[in-house]
Amino acid sequence: QLVESGGGLVQPGGSLRLSCAASDILFAFITVGWYRQAPGKQRELVASVAGDGTTHYADLVKGRFTISRDGAKNTVYLQMNSLKPEDTAVYYCNRDPPSTRAWGQGTQVTVSI
C-alpha cells in the first residue's frame, strides 16, 4: 500500500515536499513515479526515480521539482519549488509504469493566492 502526504495550500512561488511511504514494496528495487491529476485532465507522470537512482522529469516541472528516495525509510519524496497555479492537482505515487492496484488516495496540492 502506498500512502502519500505533504500536500496543502501554498502561494505561487512557494514550496512543498511530498512523501510517499510503502508498507509492502521495496522502493530500492523498482522505478517509482510521482503522478498528478488536475480537475478535468488525465493523470500524468511528473517525475520518476529508478532503482539505480536515475531520475526523469516531465518538461513542465524540470528544474523546479526534485524526486529523491530514502532507502532506510523506504520513502520517496517530491520536492516542489517555484510552484505555479497550474501545478494544482492531486498528486499520487506509484510504480512506473503504474500498477492499477497500487493507486492510493493521493495528496491535494493547491497553488493559489
Supply the pLDDT for residue 24: 83
Supply the pLDDT for residue 26: 86
Supply the pLDDT for residue 111: 98
Residues contacting residue 99 through CB under 8 Å, at least 6 positions apart: none
Cβ atoms within 10 A of the Cβ of 89, count? 22
Over residues 49-89, the pLDDT tens digits come to 999 999 999 999 999 999 999 999 999 999 999 999 999 99
Supply the pLDDT for residue 15: 98
Query: From CA 7, how far away is CA 4, in angstroms rounded?
Result: 8
pLDDT band at 109 (very low <50, low <70, confident <90, very high): very high
Residues contacting residue 102 through CB under 8 Å, at least 6 positions apart: 1, 2, 25, 94, 95
Query: From CA 67, how far away is CA 34, in angstroms rounded?
Result: 8
Over residues 22-57, the pLDDT tens digits come to 888 888 889 999 999 999 999 999 999 999 999 999
